[in-house]
Chains A and B, each alone.
Chain A
Amino acid sequence: MELAVDGISCAACIGRIEGAVKRLPGVTEARLNYTNRRLHVAWADGALRPAQILSALETQGYRGHPFVPLRAEQEEAAEARKLTRCLAVAGFAAMNIMLLSVSVWSGNVTDITPETRDFFHWASALIALPAAAYAGRPFFASAWRALKARALNMDVPISLGVILALGMSLVETANHAEHAYFDSAIMLLFFLLIGRTLDHAMRRKTRAVAGNLAALRADTAHRFVGGEVVSVPVAAVKAGDKLLVRPGERVPADGVVQTGNSEIDESLITGETARRAIASGATVYAGSMNYSGTLTLLVTAAGGAALIDEIERLLEKAASAKSRAMRLADRASRVYAPVVHVTAALTLAGWLIAGASAHDALITAIAVLIITCPCALALAIPAVQVVASGALFRANIILNAGDAIERLAEADTVVFDKTGTLTLPEPRVVNAGALDVELLQKAARLALSSRHPLAVALSREATLRAPYDGAVEEPGQGVHALIDGLEARLGSAMFCGLAPSPFVPAQAGTQSPTTGAAWVPACAGTNGDFGASSIHFSYGRQSATIAINQSLRPDAVETVQALRARGLDLMILSGDRDEAVAPVAAMLGIDVWQGGLKPAAKIARIEELKRQGRRVLMVGDGLNDAPSLAAADVSLSPISAADVTQAQADAVFLGERLKPVADAVAIARRARRLMAENLWLAALYNLVAVPVAIAGLVTPLIAALAMSGSSLLVTVNALRARGPR
């Protein structure tokens, strides 16, 4: 069994986790992969239940989540192994052939005997042919697929060049000629494989991070079986099941509430931050956070829940309508391949007309093919992409799509979602400055004992992360404990024996009349505040009201300014109420904003912008944003985003800062400039080299120098994509 393990942070974790699992009876193997945070466990059949492994991990303070690797991820892993094997073979062959070739080149100007040269050439052939047959497969297969579809891609000239160079060299070797091009062919393969392997490794890293997150999010549901409550994986929930949803848990499936009152937060689904009061008979959607009361739920749609289905349908439509922006490399190769082939053909014809023998004319034509071998061209863009995605990775941005860099560079309009994108995904204490520090610390430590979402938010303030002994949670009311002999209470005003908080206005029309079950009254729409909630704390005779709210990402203002300084137009499209969006827009100085948008309306707005000729960068996190992310030219989403959303985004950024958005645009623009530069360098190289080749003056030494020289040039230029540092 594979488990994604949460909370690994140090070397000692490896020993602790493996030790704890190995101590279980029946476990034969436990090995933690520190790089991708996954634990592999094997046990004798029937010796233990998988749940025991999870609880063993929990006693050590880690959370394990059963992990089923996606098919796509397995296929990519196999592909990566194949590429690495090809790279190893090509590298081995290139080094050995170079050794022989350098001897021949130096021998050609000194005193090598024709017999020795032939022997060296045959030895090269012996290495080169099997190596090319093995290491060239990725290119040959891709070229073949393109040809079958009656198209040309970069791999067609590459494959043609390699095969012709090898074939010609073989013929030349058999004729005891001075020159053979085995080294050129294999070096070309080696260089290109380096680019491709790096590119692949970068994408796989992203995939692994995303896969782990998906596993961490897949939680358990509590299902009634007879009179008992049993924990089952969410995937096993079926329509018609009866579920128990406790406060602080996410609703695992769409359903109808049977008993219980509560407030739920649907911001993940609609972007709306105000909580909705629900009672029996109400419909709730998977992904909503249950705030205050315990609910029993009759599942109406599980797995591909109804609302998610709807969003996925929109998503498919948007994705298929997305104009496939042609990649720079494809555009280049579309021009490049025919030009090369025509030039080679013309060279052949020209030399024949000029009266050269068929053999000489053919050799010159093939030399043209080799010298124009798209070494520089094929490296020009991947090299920049690899360096740029490395730079993005350091800036906490993980790319999902390979061509996102180019599209990012072209964006001229940024559309932000509000909840979870401009604001932090989790609520924070907003009035920490106004409170007594020690009191706040006591409240935060006490909050560690509760699972209530507001308490969880408060507990983030705790510098000492140790809960108080003997803390008792009264469901629906709060927690209390004795701290240094004094009674401390955290929860609703009533629970703490306080008068209702002064900043909970009675006008909260969107809210439930605070029921007895809700131990934290929530208020929305307070003067310019967007959905603040308060939690009360009393300690002896001291007391405090702690306001908890969605707060802006700490650097949102600077980021917005930086983006504007780069000449980008900014706007906010949110699913949240206008009253909640307005203050955020005002704080950030964004004039163009719209609230209360349904997913379809968001798409319509984005399509409209695209029709105006704008290139739209969409930044969003909610489930409701997924279709708009697909509709936009390019999209970013924070790592806290919903699964579907993340899968749809071109890139994902980590951390709680918004700065990566500005960094992404900066890095992408620099990369785009370098790509264009590199293409010009490659073109310039061809401009010089091709006439030499047409004139029939190219020897293998010149070919090798020109090829490595130009590759080196574009690679060094690509390194500048790292940025000034």
Chain B
Amino acid sequence: MNVIIYLLPLALGLGLIGLFAFLWALKSGQYGDVDGAALRVLSDDDLEK
């Protein structure tokens, strides 16, 4: 059972990484425009420059 001593913090740490990734995404405004990104990918105007 001793394996839990480091497995548990490891699991928590991974969870925390996920949480902070989400909070960072939220803070950097990635949920500000949820419809635009899907349409932006269709435009090719970044190719010629």
Q: A residues touching B (Cβ–Cβ < 8 Å)?
A: 10-12, 14-15, 19, 32-36, 81, 84-85, 88-89, 92, 95-96, 99, 113, 116, 119, 123, 127
Contacts of A127 in B (CB 8 A): 12
Given A35-B34, A99-B11, A123-B8, also A84-B39 (CB < 8 A): no
- Additional 14 contacts, C-beta under 8 A, given A10-B39, A14-B36, A15-B43: A14-B40, A19-B45, A34-B33, A35-B33, A35-B34, A36-B33, A81-B26, A88-B23, A89-B19, A92-B15, A92-B16, A95-B15, A119-B4, A123-B8
For the residues of A in contact with B, the DSSP-based class is: helix
- Contact check, A34 vs B15: say whether CB atoms are below 8 A apart: no
B interface list, Cβ under 8 A from A: 1, 4, 8, 11-12, 15-16, 18-19, 22-23, 26-27, 31-36, 39-40, 42-43, 45
Contacting pair A35 B19 (CB below 8 A): no
Q: Top 4 closest A-B pairs, CB basis?
A: A34-B36, A11-B39, A15-B43, A33-B33
| Cβ of A112 to closest chain B Cβ, rounded Å | 9
Contact A15 B45 (CB under 8 A): yes
**A33 near B32: Cβ-Cβ < 8 Å:** yes
29 contacts between A and B (CB under 8 A): A11-B40, A11-B42, A11-B43, A14-B39, A14-B43, A15-B43, A19-B45, A33-B36, A34-B33, A34-B35, A34-B36, A34-B39, A35-B32, A35-B33, A35-B34, A81-B26, A85-B26, A88-B19, A88-B23, A92-B18, A92-B19, A95-B15, A96-B11, A96-B12, A96-B15, A99-B11, A116-B1, A116-B4, A127-B12
Question: Inside 8 A of B40's CB, which chain A residues have their CB?
Answer: 11, 14, 34
What is the CB-to-nearest-CB distance from A602 to chain B, in angstroms, rounded to a whole number?
A: 40
Q: Could you say which residues of chain B place their CB within 8 Å of the CB of A85?
A: 23, 26
Find B22's partner among A88, A96, A119 (CB 8 Å cutoff): A88
Residue ID in chain A nearest B9 by CB atoms: A123
Chain A, Cβ-Cβ closest to B1 = A116
Q: Taking each of A12, A34, A36, A81, which has the highest tally of chain B beta carbons within 10 Å of its own beta carbon? A: A34
- Identify the closest chain B residue to A112 (Cβ): B1
B9 nearest CB across to chain A (Å): 9
Chain B residues contacting A15 (CB-CB under 8 Å) are 43, 45
Q: Which of B11, B19, B32 has the most CB of A within 10 A?
A: B19
Chain B nearest CB from A447 CB (Å) reads: 33
* CB-nearest residue of chain A to B8: A123
Tell me the bound Cα distance from A85 to B27 in angstroms.
9
CA A199 – CA B3 in complex, angstroms?
43
Q: Shortest beta-carbon distance, B18 to chain A, in Å?
A: 7
Question: CA separation between A85 and B8, bound complex, in Å?
Answer: 24
Chain B residue nearest in CB terms to A96: B15
Q: Which residues from A are CB-within-8-Å of B32?
A: 33, 35
The smallest C-beta distance from A37 to any residue of chain B, in angstroms, reads 10
Closest residue of B by beta carbon distance from A131: B19
| Cβ–Cβ < 8 Å partners of A96 in chain B | 11-12, 15
- Give the CA-CA distance A116 to B1 in the complex, in Å: 8
CB proximity of A42 to chain B, nearest CB, Å = 15
Cα–Cα distance between A32 and B33 once the two chains are bound (Å): 9
Residue of chain A at shortest CB distance from B39: A11
Supposing A12-B43, A14-B43, A123-B8 touch, asked if A35 and B15 sit within 8 A by C-beta, the answer is: no
- Shortest distance between the CB of B28 and any CB in chain A (Å): 12
Nearest CB on B from A68, distance (A): 18
Task: Give the CA-CA distance A85 to B19 in the complex, in Å.
Answer: 9
Nearest to B42 among chain A residues (CB) is A11
Residues of B within 8 A of A99 (CB): 11
Residues of A within 8 A of B35 (CB): 34-35
CA distance A207 to B16 in the complex (A): 33
Complex: chain A residue closest to B12, CB-CB: A96
What is the bound-complex CA distance between A89 and B16, given in angstroms? 9
Q: Which residue of B lies closest to A12 (CB)?
A: B43
Q: Which residues of A contact B19 (CB under 8 A)?
A: 88-89, 92
For residue B37, give the distance in angstroms from its CB to the closest CB of chain A.
Answer: 8
Which residue of B is nearest A95, CB measured?
Answer: B15
Bound CA–CA A14/B46 (angstroms): 13
Q: Which of chain B's residues have a CB closer than 8 A to the CB of A14?
A: 36, 39-40, 43
Which chain A positions have C-beta within 8 A of B34?
A: 35
Complex CA–CA separation, A88 to B19 (angstroms)? 7
Chain A nearest CB: distance from B24 CB in Å? 11
A84-B26 CB under 8 A given contacts A92-B19, A99-B11, A116-B4:
yes
Bound-complex Cα distance A99 to B1 (A): 16
Within 8 Å by CB of A32, from B22, B23, B36, lies B36
| A33 surroundings in chain B (CB, below 8 A) | 32-33, 36
* A123: chain B residues within 8 A (beta carbon): 8, 12
Closest B residue by C-beta to A99 = B11
Within the complex, the shortest CB–CB distance from A4 to chain B, in Å, comes to 14
Bound Cα distance from A99 to B8, whole angstroms: 10
**Nearest chain A CB to B4 CB, angstrom units:** 7
CA–CA, A30 and B21, complex, Å: 26
Q: Report the nearest B residue to A15, measured CB to CB.
A: B43
Looking across the interface, which residue of chain A has its beta carbon closest to that of B45? A15
Closest to B19 in A: A92
The answer to whether A88 touches B12, judged by C-beta atoms less than 8 angstroms apart, is: no
Complex: A11 Cα to B12 Cα, angstroms: 41
Q: What residues of chain A lie closer than 8 Å to B23, measured between beta carbons?
A: 85, 88
Bound CA–CA A32/B45 (angstroms): 15
Query: Quick one: closest A residue to B36, CB to CB?
Result: A34
The distance from the CB of B41 to the nearest CB of chain A, in whole angstroms, is: 9
* Separation of A119 and B6 alpha carbons in the complex (Å): 12
Please measure, in the bound complex, the distance between the C-alpha atom of A88 and the C-alpha atom of B15, giving whole angstroms: 11
Q: Which residues of A contact B26 (CB under 8 A)?
A: 81, 84-85, 88
- Shortest CB distance A596–B (Å): 46
B13 smallest CB distance to A (angstroms) = 11
Q: Collect the chain B residues with CB atoms within 8 Å of residue A10's CB.
A: 39
- Chain B residue at minimum C-beta to C-beta distance from A33: B33
* B11 CB, nearest partner CB in chain A, Å: 7
- Cα A113 to Cα B1 in complex, Å, equals 10
A19 contact set on B, CB distance < 8 A = 45
Within the complex, what minimum Cβ distance (angstroms) separates B20 from chain A? 9
A35 to B15, CA, bound (A): 30
Residues of the A chain whose Cβ atoms lie less than 8 Å from the Cβ of B33: 33-36
Complexed CA–CA distance, A116 and B7 (Å): 14
A36 to B32, CA, bound (A): 9
Q: Nearest CB to that of A77 among chain B residues?
A: B32
Per the bound structure, the CA–CA distance linking A99 and B15 in Å amounts to 12
Q: How far is the CA of A11 from the CA of B43 in the complex (A)?
A: 7
A167 to B7, CA, bound (A): 27
Complex CA–CA separation, A65 to B47 (angstroms): 31
* Nearest opposing residue in chain B for A127, CB measure: B12
Which residue of chain B has the shortest Cβ distance to A115 in the bound complex?
A: B1
A522 to B7 Cα, complex, angstroms = 83
Complex CA gap A89/B19 in Å reads 7
- Chain A's closest residue to B22 (CB) is A88
CB contacts (< 8 Å) of B4 on chain A: these are 116, 119
With a cutoff of 8 Å between Cβ atoms, the chain A residues found around residue B36 in the complex are 14, 32-35
Q: What is the distance, in angstroms, from A116's C-beta to the closest C-beta of chain B? A: 6
